Amino acid sequence: MDKPPYDQRIARILVRPLAGTPIAANHITAISLVLALAAAALFALGDPAAANWGAGLFVLARFLDHFDGELARLTGKTSRLGYYFDYVAGGASYAALFAGIGIGLSGGAFGGWALLLGAAGAASALIGLFLNLDLDRQLQLAGGEAVGYPGFAGFELEDGIYLIAPVTWLGWLEPFFVAAGIGAAIYCLWTAWRLAAARAAKSS
């Protein structure tokens, strides 16, 4: 997209008061990771009320994920450590979410299939993490920009995760879980294809 997505633009405004404080970008990354892991644990309980809280926490965690990079750029304190930490935190957050939901839903109609889908989603998130890191490196070596998510009209593909809150609260977590698992696998394959194309372009 020519412009950053809406949530990133909002984060850019909201993070400004933190520029003159001791809070650093890596602190925000750590907080977002802790919130995401707590959300996954709540989903794993298999209790609808806990899942509702978990959905809200995870949405908050993913929104905060935009704050760290914006704060680092605003204060001029970008770092290689922060770059890797942000990537790892994002991948671990999604992997934990899939695992937590899978565990939570395994006691229902899905049974063992929920565990299998959760494991597949978690694996896709972790594999995608390493694929994206490698793709970023290939693009930067070629003089391009870091990899981003496909987007349109101010929204990125990743923004679909915000829907986890309303669909959980409305009792539609199961179909969303299936769709998210399929989507994670497709995104992983798409990233692998982009990486292969980038490597091919580099060698040609």
What digits encode the pLDDT tens for the residues 116-169?
999 999 999 999 999 988 888 877 655 555 555 555 556 676 778 899 999 999
Buried b (16+ CB within 10 A) or exposed e, 124-151: bbbbbbebbbbbbebbeeeeeeebeeeb
From residue 155, alpha-carbon distances to 5, 16, 76, 151, 188 in Å are 5, 22, 26, 5, 19
Note the pTM of the prediction, 2 decimals: 0.89
Collapsed DSSP state (helix, strand, coil) of residue 10: helix
- C-alpha closest to that of 167 among 177, 157, 159, 158: 177
| Residue showing tokens 């939901």 | 101
Identify the architecture of domain 6-203 in CATH. Up-down Bundle (1.20)
| Residue showing tokens 């908050």 | 60
**What integer best gives the mean pLDDT of the chain?**
89
**156, β-bridge pairs:** 151
User: Is the predicted pLDDT of residue 174 greater than 80, yes or no?
Assistant: yes
Over residues 12-52, the pLDDT tens digits come to 999 999 998 999 999 999 999 999 999 999 999 999 999 99
Over residues 58-112, the pLDDT tens digits come to 999 999 999 999 999 999 988 889 999 999 999 999 999 999 999 999 999 899 9
Residue boundaries of the structural domains of the chain: 6-203
In the prediction, which pLDDT does 172 show?
A: 95
In the prediction, which pLDDT does 149 show?
A: 58
Exposed/middle/buried for residue 94 (C-beta within 10 Å: 0-12, 13-18, 19+): buried
Q: Which structure tokens are listed for 84? A: 């890797």
